[in-house]
Amino acid sequence: MVSLIIWLVLGFLAGYIAKMILPGTDGGGVIMTTFVGIIGAVVGGFIGTLVGYPMVSSFNNIGGSLPSFISSVIGAIVVLLVFRAINGLRL
C-alpha cells in the first residue's frame, strides 16, 4: 500500500514538473498530471534501460532513486508531447 502511494506521489511530481517545463492548456487536473507522470515513469525507465542506465523497479530505497525520478520526468515530457501531438491531430 505504501509503495502504491509513493508511486502515485512520484508520478504526480514527475507529471507536474513535465507540465512546468512544457506549459500549455492540457487540462485534466491532478488526475491527468498523475497519469502522465506514471506513464512517463514507465517510458523513462524503458529509455533509461536502452541507454544503459537500469532503473530502480521499486521506490523502497528513495535515496537511491534520483536517476529513476529524472528518467520519469523525461518520460513524462515525452508522453506529454505525444499526448499533445495526438490531440493536435484531432482538431
pLDDT tens-place values along the chain, 91 residues long: 667 777 778 788 888 888 888 887 766 777 877 788 888 877 877 777 777 766 655 544 444 567 777 888 888 888 888 888 887 765 4
* Total-model pTM: 0.74
CA distance 81 to 4: 26
Tell me the residue length of the chain: 91
Are 57 and 23 contacting, i.e. CB atoms less than 8 angstroms apart? no
Annotated domain spans of the chain: 2-90
